[in-house]
Amino acid sequence: MLLKVGDRNPLVAFFQFVLKENNYYLGSIDGIFGNQTKEAVISFQKSLNLSQSGIIDDELVKELLPYITVPTSIPYTYEITNIVIQAILYKYNFLQMQNIGKSVMQKDINCIKIGNGTNHVLYVGSTHANEWITTPLLLKFVQDYSDAYSKGENIYDKNSTELFNKTTLYIVPLHNPDGVDLVNEAIDTNSEEYLNAVQISNNYPNIPFPEGWKANILGIDLNLQFPARWNEAKEIKFNQGFISPAPRDYVGVFPLEAPEALALYDFTISNNFRLMNTFHTQGKVIFWKFLNYNPPNSEVIAKEFAKVSGYSLQDTPYASSFAGFKDWFIQNYNLPGYTIECGLGVNPLPIAQFDEIYNDVLGIMVLGIWL
């Protein structure tokens, strides 16, 4: 990594946020590395008796880790997510991280593990690219839960030590790193991957680019890739006109074709999860069923989730009823699985909604590892 005067990208905005939070930067968070940002970097370097280059490189990032908290006011990218994860791991040595697979562009799909209980639970975010606000949502929860546990305090209304000892929670905060980078303009516009995405988008001119992009970088919708009546999903989506790689709703050539979907599938198969929540946007609804499957306690838990969040319980609309991760989890294990549609509006939801969304779903995230 090397950031210097003249650079413009989301990563610059991230470091502006970090420096501002720590009173080194007084300017606006605009993602433009100007002289004011350079002076802030120099001030930070000076405070630690470092070489005062005014440049952000990998060595400086290591020095910044103790000062980083989860940003909740800026767009996220793969690189920002990884730095935030490093900072959380630096502060809380009881956390663990593992790589569950790689994206099309060979970016790691990482998972954070917290707790040591026999009850294993999985949370997933940013399966859909323009629903990236679910990444900071999950990272903020990891931070708050870890902080509460380290201090022996409650999170929500539950004892964090009891939660930690009861449940081992696995969180995949960024399932679709390439797609999120595309939406948030963190992919080189001259790269083969970007130009291919533009061509795909041109075939679907009614979907805005890049903000309408949900798929992985190859135009495969990851939440239509699981072996849960996949052929029905294919028929529905083909009838809707999604017959080739698309910004959304293309099921692919066969189930688990996309490496991101296969990674999550393999990870789930290799574990013994008793409950799964996958976080999406938008609608303020909880989808809790797949066809006529009715896993034990699933409806009871769903009603508790609805109670603490104010979200409504709904059956998944028929046109979206097949080949999702939740659908496969319920079909394969007959265990509770939920799609939590956070917030309300047009995707990507504005980051200004973050606090409201987090407050709404915090109870769900806590109850998911308590019940």
Say whether 132 sits in a helix, a strand or coil. Answer: coil
Give the ranges where the chain is alpha helix by DSSP (H): 10-21, 35-47, 58-64, 78-91, 134-151, 160-166, 177-183, 192-202, 230-239, 259-269, 298-309, 325-333, 354-367
What is the model's pLDDT at position 241? 97
Strands 337-342 and 273-281, by their bridges, are: parallel
Give the domain 2-67 fold.
Muramoyl-pentapeptide Carboxypeptidase; domain 1 (1.10.101)
Q: At what angle do helices 134-151 and 78-91 cross, to 10 degrees?
A: 0
Q: Which of 153, 192, 341, 356 is catalytic?
A: 341
The one-digit pLDDT tens for each residue of the chain (371 residues) are: 899 999 999 999 999 999 999 999 999 999 999 999 999 999 999 999 999 999 999 999 999 999 999 999 999 999 999 999 999 999 999 999 999 999 999 999 999 999 999 999 999 999 999 999 999 999 999 999 999 999 999 999 999 999 999 999 999 999 999 999 999 999 999 999 999 999 999 999 999 999 999 999 999 999 999 999 999 999 999 999 999 999 999 999 999 999 999 999 999 999 999 999 999 999 999 999 999 999 999 999 999 999 999 999 998 888 778 999 999 999 999 999 999 999 999 999 999 999 999 999 999 999 999 98
- CA atoms of 100 and 354, how far apart (whole Å): 27
| CATH code of the domain made up of 78-178+258-367 | 3.40.630.10
Residue extents of the structural domains in the chain: 2-67, 78-178+258-367
Is 21 part of the annotated catalytic residue set?
Answer: no
- CA atoms of 88 and 85, how far apart (whole Å): 5
- CA atoms of 151 and 247, how far apart (whole Å): 44
Determine the straight-line distance between the first and last CA of the chain, rounded to whole angstroms: 43
Say whether 250 sits in a helix, a strand or coil. Answer: coil
pLDDT for 188-245, tens place per residue?
A: 999 999 999 999 999 999 999 999 999 999 999 999 999 999 999 999 999 999 999 9
